[in-house]
Each structure stands twice: as structure tokens, then as C-alpha cells.
């Protein structure tokens, strides 16, 4: 579970597109993490384009577990 206020902290979240740029992980990798319950997410859309927003700390932990 996310810490209290973590979703509102600056730099604590990132979109699936930013995760691909920074960590070189695919959207499918993130969706797999969401489906297994390792990642919390929020849906978003800008100008009709949907995206996933995930917590940076959880994503980093998930990448370390899955990819080493």
C-alpha cells in the first residue's frame, strides 16, 4: 500500500510513458505488475489519450524483483 500522501508528493508518481523513457519498461510490464497486485495505479487522460499513473517507489521495487 502507498504511504499516506504519496500520490500527492511531487515526483512520487510517473506515467507509463515516462516509465518507459526512464526505466525502459513496457506498458505490458506495468500492466502485469498491476494485475499481480504489486503496483497501484490511477487512470488518467490528456486530450483524450489514456495513460496509467503509478508510484515510482513501487515501480522501482517491482523492477528490482522482476528484472534484478
Q: If pLDDT is split at 50, 70 and 90, which confidence band does 68 have?
A: confident
DSSP state of 36: T
| Structure confidence by residue, pLDDT tens digits, 18-59 | 999 999 999 999 999 999 999 999 999 999 999 999 999 999
Rounded Cα distance between 68 and 44, Å, is 29
What pTM was computed for the model?
A: 0.88
In this predicted structure, the answer to whether residue 1 has a pLDDT above a threshold of 80 is no
Amino acid at each position: 500500500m502507498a504511504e499516506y500522501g504519496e500520490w500527492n508528493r511531487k515526483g512520487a508518481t510517473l506515467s507509463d510513458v515516462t516509465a518507459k523513457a526512464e526505466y525502459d519498461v513496457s506498458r505490458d510490464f506495468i500492466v502485469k505488475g498491476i494485475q499481480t497486485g504489486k503496483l497501484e495505479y490511477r487512470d488518467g487522460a490528456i486530450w483524450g489519450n489514456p495513460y496509467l499513473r503509478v508510484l515510482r517507489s513501487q515501480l522501482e521495487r517491482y523492477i528490482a524483483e522482476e528484472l534484478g
